[in-house]
Amino acid sequence: MHKKFLITASVIGTLSVALGAFGAHALKTMIDEKALAVFETAVRYQFYHMFALLAVAVLYQNFPGKLMLWAGRLFIAGIILFSGSLYLLTYLQAQNITRLKWVGAITPLGGVAFIVGWVLIAVAVAVAKKKLIP
């Protein structure tokens, strides 16, 4: 197992639950429904990819190597870029700051990181000489 990915996934999971609770209880009184939907998308993808990072941490035991390491790194980068940019957009709307809407252009970069991370898991398993089930 990859200890650093397990720890990082735990922290990301904790933040997902805390941010989700914040969005459900406090934030919904501060922003409109459209901005709240953006925030919820950020939380949802962060939470999904916490599980992906956990999977990488566990799979690393049977499929160690650069491909699996990069899959984990890309999931972390994807969370920062995708969810982080959506959190920032929500904050900007809550503060009525309109001059930084270009931040939304960062979101697809996070999506690409997620996609490549998933592809790298598949490739790492496909090219490995070790089988998953003995």
Q: Outline where the chain has alpha helix (H).
A: 3-25, 33-62, 66-78, 84-94, 107-127
Phi, psi dihedral angles at 8 (to 5 degrees): -60, -40
The token pair that represents 82 in the structure block:
């995708």
Q: What pLDDT shows up at residue 97?
A: 85
Q: What pLDDT shows up at residue 134?
A: 59
Q: Smallest Cα–Cα separation from 100: which of 111, 91, 110, 113?
A: 91
Phi, psi dihedral angles at 65 (to 5 degrees): 145, 175
8 A C-beta contact, residue 125 and residue 132: yes
| pTM of the entire predicted model | 0.92
pLDDT in tens, 6-62: 999 999 999 999 999 999 888 888 888 999 999 999 999 999 999 999 999 999 999
